[in-house]
């Protein structure tokens, strides 16, 4: 399907599109919105866009939800089924969800694998997990601390001299906790390949190109840094951590993840690709861009994971993400003492972000005045949102992936057509079973 008919509106904010991917969670204190940029209340939408949205989702709404088997429903599982159906009806392409708790082992899906009408989404489907990759990278880094390779307060300069020539005091802890002052880096990187910021074609071409890790670092070295100690979400900082891991191990990050994370955690369907495309049953990358393309949808099959590298290149499933989070939180992958470091917030502010992990209030807490916490991460690629959260004892896990990101609304500061909270909230509540 060709998408070459543009409108003026869609071609005027390419730089803004670049800044949308892999952003820090905007409201970790509010489970109903754990991912993506903060947005104001719903604004009036044009009739033209509304009609296009309705047409684009008409076929999706016909897809039967693959959720609770007949005769086994409860109020909690009914809410899960309804939540999946709602996000698809509202405009998502496909959704896959998994809830694990002592009283419930549930999985479901709804919508399509691809906006072009391929097979229905499945609960076992793979998807890009984006910034959930950061927790995996942080796990490798903490394993090196356990081995004595470095400490959390080792300067990056001691591992790769000159990596940050104007910031030689940056430490491994600061990169893990996003407190080094480093810029985000993703938009800065893409802009090195784009001559005309108003050209959507150039943007798409940039998303499909190869990038060396050093290019990520060069992009932020050329930019303005913030004050060390303050939280500022940096994708390039995690790219640098991957470079440190490769420097001391003599192996690429993909091999290290397979040996020391995927294998030990039982993640049999996870991978760390460095080329475009998703193999096997998968939720494809599709983004809603409004009337800027002939049918409103932007397919991202040519997206190259080098754009994110160690900050977000991993592909996984809900089952594998749950297995990883459980293995991490129960001390199977990282020494319990170092795990405590990972779970200690590193900076003041609304985000309870530690070292590659953050926390949200646990809706199952018996004392609402002093709620417990769920730990994990989220991810936002250009087409897919993902969330993985679990209780500190590992007994409860909530994981999900949703494709069909609404870039058109986010670019202009409007509420996206579908709300990930419509499926995340019932999933969190169902984990109380």
Per DSSP, the three-state class of 286 is: strand
d(CA 70, CA 96): 19
Q: How many whole angstroms separate alpha carbon 426 and alpha carbon 433? A: 12
User: What pLDDT does 290 receive?
Assistant: 85
- Give the number of C-alpha atoms closer than 13 A to the C-alpha of residue 310, restricted to the C-beta side: 33
Give residue 118's pLDDT.
Answer: 76
User: What pLDDT is attached to residue 62?
Assistant: 52
Digit-coded pLDDT (tens) for 370-397: 889 999 999 999 999 999 999 999 999 9
- What is the distance between the alpha carbons of residues 241 and 393, in angstroms, rounded to a whole number? 28
Q: How far apart are CA 110 and CA 429, in angstroms?
A: 19
Query: How far, rounded to the nearest angstrom, does the alpha carbon of residue 17 sit from its chain's CA centroid?
Result: 16
Cβ neighbourhood burial of 216 (10 Å; 0-12, 13-18, 19+): buried
Tell me, yes or no, whether 4 lies in a domain. Answer: no
Q: Tell me the CATH number at 123.
A: 3.40.710.10
Dihedral in degrees, nearest 10, Cα atoms 290, 189, 220, 133: 80
- pTM score of the predicted model: 0.87
Q: What percent of the chain has pLDDT over 90?
A: 73
- DSSP character for 250? S
Q: Where are the beta strands (DSSP E) in 184-270?
A: none
* Residue 208 DSSP label: T
Q: Is the pLDDT of residue 59 over 60?
A: no
What is the predicted pLDDT for the residue at 32?
28
Which strands sit side by side in the sheet containing 358-361, from one edge to the other? 104-111, 94-101, 397-403, 384-391, 373-380, 358-361, 352-353
**Is 358 a member of any domain?**
yes
Using 50, 70 and 90 to split pLDDT, how confident is the model at 64?
low
In a domain, 1, yes or no: no
Buried b vs exposed e over 337-376: b needs ≥16 C-beta within 10 Å? ebbebbbebbbeeebbbbbbbbbbbbbbeeeeeeeeebbb
Q: Does residue 123 lie in a domain region?
A: yes
pLDDT tens sequence across 74-112? 999 999 999 999 999 999 999 999 999 999 999 999 999
Q: Which residue has the higher pLDDT, 306 or 198?
A: 306
Q: Return the structure tokens found at 136.
A: 């995996």
Is residue 56 very low, low, confident or very high in pLDDT (cuts 50, 70, 90)?
Answer: very low
**Assigned token pair, 117:** 């009408």
Q: Is residue 421 part of a domain?
A: yes
The 10s digit of each residue's pLDDT in 102-146 is 999 999 999 999 998 879 999 999 999 999 999 999 999 999 999
> 295: how many CB neighbours lie within 10 A of its CB?
16
DSSP 68: S
Torsion of CA 220, 127, 270, 372, to 10 degrees: 80
285 lies in which domain range?
9-430
Q: Between residues 332 and 408, which one has the greater pLDDT?
A: 332
pLDDT for the residue numbered 18: 39
Of residues 411 and 327, the one with the higher pLDDT is 327
Domain assignment present for residue 175? The answer is: yes
Q: Three-state SS for 20?
A: helix
Question: Alpha-carbon distance 40 to 38, whole Å?
Answer: 7
pLDDT score recorded for residue 293:
65
Between strands 405-406 and 286-288, the pairing is parallel
Question: What does the block give as tokens for 111?
Answer: 């919508």
Task: Name the DSSP class of 363.
Answer: T
Integer Cα distance of 238 and 138 in angstroms: 8
Confidence of residue 165 (pLDDT cuts 50, 70, 90): very high
pLDDT tens per residue, range 314-338? 999 999 999 999 999 999 999 999 9
Residues ≥6 apart with Cβ < 8 Å to 83: 97, 422, 423, 424, 425, 426, 427
Decide if 2 is inside a domain: no
59-65: average pLDDT: 52
Of 42-46, 173-177, 213-217, 426-430, the range with the lowest mean pLDDT is 42-46
**What value does the mean pLDDT take over residues 401-406?**
96
76 in Cβ contact with 433 (< 8 Å): yes
- Return the percentage of the chain with pLDDT > 70, whole number: 85
List, in sequence order, the alpha helices (H) in 148-292: 156-159, 172-177, 186-191, 200-207, 213-221, 235-249, 253-257, 263-265
Q: What token pair was written down for 417?
A: 């057509």
Place of tokens 């049918």: 295
Question: What's the confidence (pLDDT) of residue 199?
Answer: 79
Instruction: Kindly provide the b/e burial profile for residues 261-289, where b requires at least 16 CB atoms within 10 angstroms of the residue's own CB.
Output: bbeebebebbbbbeebebeeebbbbbbbb
Report the pLDDT value the prediction gives residue 200, as an integer from 0 to 100: 73
User: What CA–CA distance (Å, rounded) separates 423 from 402?
Assistant: 10
* Mean pLDDT confidence for 47-57: 33
Give which of 306, 378, 308 is closest to 132, Cα–Cα: 378
pLDDT range class, residue 357, cuts 50, 70, 90: very high
The number of folded domains in the chain is 1
């Amino acid at each position: 399907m060709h998408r070459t008919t543009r409108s003026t509106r869609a071609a005027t904010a390419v730089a803004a599109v670049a800044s949308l991917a892999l952003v820090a969670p905007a409201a970790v204190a509010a489970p109903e919105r754990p991912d993506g940029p903060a947005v104001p209340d719903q604004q009036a939408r044009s009739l033209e866009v509304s009609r296009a949205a309705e047409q684009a989702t008409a076929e999706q709404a016909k897809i039967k939800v693959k959720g609770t088997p007949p005769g086994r429903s409860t109020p909690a599982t009914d809410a899960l089924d309804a939540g999946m159906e709602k996000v698809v009806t509202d405009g998502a392409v496909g959704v896959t969800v998994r809830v694990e708790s002592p009283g419930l082992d549930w999985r479901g899906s709804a919508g399509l694998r691809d906006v072009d009408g391929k097979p229905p989404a499945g609960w076992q489907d793979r998807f890009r997990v984006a910034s959930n990759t950061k927790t995996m990278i942080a796990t490798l880094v903490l394993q090196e601390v356990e081995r004595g390779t470095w400490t959390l307060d080792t300067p990056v300069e001691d591992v790769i001299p000159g990596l940050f020539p104007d910031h030689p005091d940056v430490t491994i802890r600061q990169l893990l906790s996003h407190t080094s002052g480093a810029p985000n880096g993703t938009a800065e990187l893409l802009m090195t390949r784009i001559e005309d910021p108003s050209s959507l074609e150039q943007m798409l071409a940039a998303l499909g190109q190869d990038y060396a890790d050093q290019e990520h670092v060069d992009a932020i070295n050329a930019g303005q840094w913030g004050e060390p100690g303050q939280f500022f979400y940096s994708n390039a900082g995690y790219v640098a951590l991957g470079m440190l891991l490769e420097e001391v191990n003599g192996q690429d990050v993909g091999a290290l993840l397979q040996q020391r994370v995927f294998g030990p955690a039982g993640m049999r369907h996870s991978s760390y690709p460095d080329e475009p495309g998703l193999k096997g049953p998968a939720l494809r990358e599709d983004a809603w861009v409004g009337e800027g393309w002939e049918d409103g949808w932007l397919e991202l099959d040519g997206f190259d994971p080098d754009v994110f590298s160690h900050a977000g290149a991993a592909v996984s499933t809900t089952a594998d993400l749950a297995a990883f989070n459980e293995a991490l939180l129960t001390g199977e992958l990282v020494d319990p003492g170092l795990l405590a470091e990972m779970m200690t917030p590193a900076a003041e502010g609304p985000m309870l972000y530690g070292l590659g992990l953050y926390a949200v209030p646990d809706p199952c807490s018996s004392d609402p005045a002093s709620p417990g916490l769920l730990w994990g991460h989220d991810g936002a690629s250009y087409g897919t949102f993902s969330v993985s959260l679990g209780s500190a004892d590992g007994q409860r896990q909530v994981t999900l992936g949703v494709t069909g990101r609404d870039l058109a609304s986010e670019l202009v500061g409007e509420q996206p057509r579908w709300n990930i909270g419509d499926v995340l909230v019932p999933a969190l509540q169902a984990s109380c079973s």
